[in-house]
Structure 1
């Protein structure tokens, strides 16, 4: 690999890391570290699988499949499924949930500490509105020229982001506040599985199927169009991004685990980050954290708006990319002003539905050549995955809306906890998915034989 290609895949990998690294990537490992305590490394292993490993596999899967985009890959199940799944995924990680969350998290962590604890609701709403105007104006400006993302994000924003993060987490690693404490009740048993579920919250496995298209377009703009060199650069860029993700997760998780002695048990990862920054750097810590959060969330917002704009332009070509960017920026701006808690409340059930289906598609992409790419295998695997995924989403929504324990969904939930392996850990879809895969392979061989 010549020096130009090395520079290209490093810059592209750094861009991909910045696109991935946003709101949840800061919040979840910090809060998880506090609660996991002495079980931090077992928990972190699970978190790295879904928070860094799955995004890497998602990036490679699309490149390996040779598909033009997510719709073409998911369309191997059925054409209608490819469109429905892609639209649902893009909207979930785009304007409906993830993009507004980038602005609200940036505001809550980066701006609220400067407003004080006694700020009125009206002042907070006004401040949030003004911040969102500035945040999404920056996101729009960076999104309207997707061909410049590698230069603007990969070569400028990401190095600055990594340097600022390093100042905080390395300081915490060198001078921890104390030893990790005993884990909370939730993390005393099944810490590994709990870490895997927490990794869902980053949304990166979902985003990988979206962001990889930006990477592919960037690589094509560099003049690389053949399959093998393209796959090689995609894989290397994915390894750079996943490697930095894992490294940052470990440091932030460790900082959270060792912070209880110094700042006490906090209600959220945002509070852990804020108080930890204040502990180490005082008032400057608030400024440092504000820079980290703003850069991380802005780069992710840009990636999401860009990806959604490019996909929906192909889906509905009557509207140009520029118009779609405007639409998604405005929708994200409007929903961001609803507030962080409301966004999280409605996003979690959708994530519980989409994640199993996403993992199934990723696995099928890698196994495609082994089972000959037979459509029946795709259909039966998704058919096995879908019922539990729907139930997980339904159950989560029911709980967040304050539903009672005597509801039908809770009765089904109780029955499956007693009969379906891994269900109580949130991974009940795994066995049905494997069963669907096996049934599909058997059916495909039987039909071929007859």
Structure 2
């Protein structure tokens, strides 16, 4: 490792870190433009073949940017998309950003450093940064926005220049160092380890906006919330947020082990999707209605009424059923389509029953700050289930690609081992390690895997 990396790993404070210059190159998980056609006509687009771990040049900082020594990161599905070069190679995003010129031109490179989560230590600040200092422990927002856009002042996600960091931009978080705008930073919860903190921002913030925010479903006490993929990263945070907000979480999972785990997180009803007779591939209209009737019957039997909200990031396989099954006046909120982007539904059940569909994407900085506060208070817990070293990032991404994981899969970057980064051990002791890591310390994670 370079001297600055060694200083970070040894836990030096800000004054000591300031004595070290950033290295000229650093270790990063990245894709190469020359590989974008490697999966043409290939059925199994194995991301272990496209994700490389190697040294890349250190970029220069813009005045409004911060350089982070990344202690830990995590795998999100956008990294899987990037590494599959689907639905389009992300180098197209880098070219579009680079074409704006100025500092943005740095992003258009023949390699793409990926990753949209990070927890780490600030090791460099641009000349225009006011609120942050070298040595600060931070977590990152995945949203790269232009704070000078008027729309961004209302909601950071409404600006035309809003992008997913490490997906639509370069210099992402699956690396020893990452470049972010100062408007992407929040304080790291002091009682969490690096890997616990890094597992939360993207998925927890996304679930918060979808369910709690005034821009999402605006869940209230007593609402029945259907959560597809309740054992996944998004689902595990959604279950906790519903329970904490006084709602009734109804989780759909794919195995008995995952069912036990989701109950432990707080779901009052858990449904094995195998009970629903869901077809392989895109459902027909008849399939959608049949699955919806079976699902609605189970929910009414267990809860006594239909869902107010359907939390859907699965997409093609579930969306029509979500529209069908929510009650009159109910809401379907969606943030993704892991099974396909082309959704079909019977519009009669939307318009005649006064339902709403809300598109949601990550979280703005204020929403993420509110979510980060819940994590800091111990009212929301990390969904981390496993960690891999950066050298094995391909295996970590492959696990997510094959849906072989539960919760979130973490990646240790500069942190030499798990368990480091806690600066508030008293709070950690009060909350309890078993509560902080529910997917790792109750024995259910091993059974669900």
TM-score relative to the length of structure 2: 0.22
Higher strand share: 2
| Higher RCO structure (Cα 8 Å, ≥6 apart) | 1
